Amino acid sequence: MKRIFAISVFLTALCLSGAAQSKSFTLGQWVEIHNAILRELNRSYVDSLPVGRIEREAVDAMLESLDPYTVYVPEEEQDDFRMMIGNTYGGIGAIINKPSADSNVIISEPYAGSPAVRSGLGPGDEILLIDGKTVKGLTTSDASDRMKGKPGTAVAFKVRKLRGGPSWAPGDTIDIKVIRERIHLPDIEYSGMLDDTTGYILQTKFTEGVASAVKEKFLELKAKGMKKFVLDLRGNGGGLLAEAVDEVSLFVPKGSVVVTSKGNSAVGEQVLRTRNEPVDLNIPIVILVNSSSASASEIVSGALQDLDRATIMGNRTFGKGLVQSIRPLPYAGQLKVTTAKYYTPSGRCVQAIDYSSRAEDGSVGHIPDSLTHEFRTAGGRIVRDGGGITPDYEIPSKDYGRLTYSVVMNLITDRYALEYYRKHESIPAVEEFHLSDADYEDFVEFASDKDFDYRSSAKAFFDEMKKALEKDGLADGMSSELAALEKSLNVDKKTFLRMKKDEIIPFLEEDIVVRYYYQEAGIKLRLRYDDQLREALAKPCLKF
């Protein structure tokens, strides 16, 4: 028996050794082929060989074939990469836009307390020159890059002011110098009491230190009388795994399993448990999620669902159950590489079954139950894998019409807000601010001469159908029917804007209040119209 066991171990080792050798041989073979092709191209290609461009394209295509999250980051893109993973950059602290390549840069929203604000830049200010150079011909991204830089350095602007100030009138052109600082966009965009007993935190990222910030805000809310806690992770695309683990630690016993990662390395399986003492084990928790809640958001919501500690409400999450690690590369480059899949405490992998089964917004498409598996929470409730976290209560998000999307995405509401800001020195506090019927009619007049696609979904669909009929040679035979239908679908711009008033008003009011009271005021205004949140608050938390 011992002899048979020894032979078995030997054969297993031999197979593993052979597999490793085969893998190394294949890698070496392709490296040799790649180098040979490159050398031959360099020697024989008819034109000058753009080595840098074709190599970058080759690397990007190779990594893209693996998964959407494994990427190469060269040295010159490190600032953008730090912004992506740390929500931090060196700059002046303002959102800008550029209506066209030939236009100047518009300060859309400076951040509260930012270097931009302290230096005198305000909403609607028009930047003509950056460090003495025109902004004409630049893209918004190009202009943003010129404004960013090492903290402590200065950037000079020539600015046409929207509103008057201590020593200038509206429309005056003045010089402003701003000292750049390290700008950190907060992961917690808002926290406050929704009513006498319900606390609320809107968390949009998982960068370094956010778990401690959530703890601090949570305790502040408890001190104000919070008896029910809402953690809003809608639109939160994730971030650092360690922060997600520490955030779960706030609400479950120390030592609880949060996530298990399984990769293809010698490290093998890693089980991550809560490391800190909790701050609260009993308060009812509601976690709001949607199709843009991903990665670390899914770790938190999935773990607290599996541990029967929170009630998940909203829409099914994105379905990104992959762990990325940062690996250094030559010439100060970095490789963000997928190294593992993660599993919630019940054993679910929330990664979508494949990368192609995605909805239009990139989130998990429909997965039939026959392709998924059942798992059990700590209390025995059934949950399923297959992609994303399915809420305990499915609550549909608001579905806006095509016109509303168009006026927002084409910055029509944004541009009107700046016009409103120019005309009105002040507005009431956020809680009392409402646009009047006369104000909305003023917006209709403002928007009516702006260029944007104001067709209804039905008219857009009709236009595509008509093109298909013409292509197939069928349109002539039904021209009268098509003409009648088209006439009924045509709605003039002003009429359609008035019809969609209830949808557009919330966006207008939000765009206006941030010009006076900055970003947090916009979130307060948004909560006023948040039907999904209102419905979630009306539902009972699950009893665990």
Which is catalytic among the residues 295, 301, 346, 363?
A: 295
For the question of residue 450 being annotated catalytic, the response is no
SS3 call for 358: strand
SS3 call for 83: helix
H or E element, residue 326: strand 322-328
- If we measure between CA atoms, which residue out of 255, 356, 269, 326 comes closest to residue 72? 326
Q: Which domains does the chain have, with CATH numbers?
A: 88-184 (2.30.42.10), 188-397 (3.90.226.10), 402-456+491-535 (no CATH)
As a whole number of Å, the end-to-end CA separation of the chain is 52
Question: What pLDDT sits at residue 12?
Answer: 46
- On whether the CB atoms of residues 124 and 163 are closer than 8 A, the answer is yes
Question: What pLDDT sits at residue 42?
Answer: 86
SS3 call for 107: strand
- Estimate to the nearest angstrom the gap between the alpha carbon of 64 and the chain centroid: 20
Which is catalytic among the residues 98, 158, 215, 320?
A: 320
Which is catalytic among the residues 306, 414, 511, 530?
A: 306
- On whether the CB atoms of residues 249 and 211 are closer than 8 A, the answer is yes
Question: What pLDDT sits at residue 353?
Answer: 64
The pTM (predicted TM-score) of the whole model is 0.88
Please give the chain's pLDDT, 544 residues, in tens.
Answer: 544 444 444 444 444 455 555 667 788 888 888 888 889 888 988 888 898 898 899 999 999 998 888 999 888 787 777 666 667 889 999 999 998 888 999 999 999 999 999 999 999 999 999 999 999 999 999 999 999 999 999 999 999 999 998 899 999 999 999 999 999 999 999 999 999 999 999 999 999 999 999 999 999 999 999 999 999 999 999 988 999 999 999 999 999 999 998 887 656 688 999 999 999 999 999 999 999 999 999 999 999 999 999 999 999 999 998 888 888 999 888 999 988 889 999 999 988 766 555 666 666 666 767 678 899 999 999 998 888 999 999 999 999 999 999 999 999 999 999 999 999 999 999 999 999 999 999 999 999 999 999 999 999 999 999 999 999 999 888 999 999 999 999 999 999 999 999 999 999 999 999 999 999 999 999 999 999 999 999 999 998 8
- On whether the CB atoms of residues 213 and 202 are closer than 8 A, the answer is no
Question: What pLDDT sits at residue 511?
Answer: 97
For the question of residue 306 being annotated catalytic, the response is yes
Length of the chain in residues, anyone?
Answer: 544
Strands 126-130 and 154-160, sheet pairing? antiparallel
For the question of residue 114 being annotated catalytic, the response is no
- If we measure between CA atoms, which residue out of 423, 313, 319, 302 comes closest to residue 362? 319
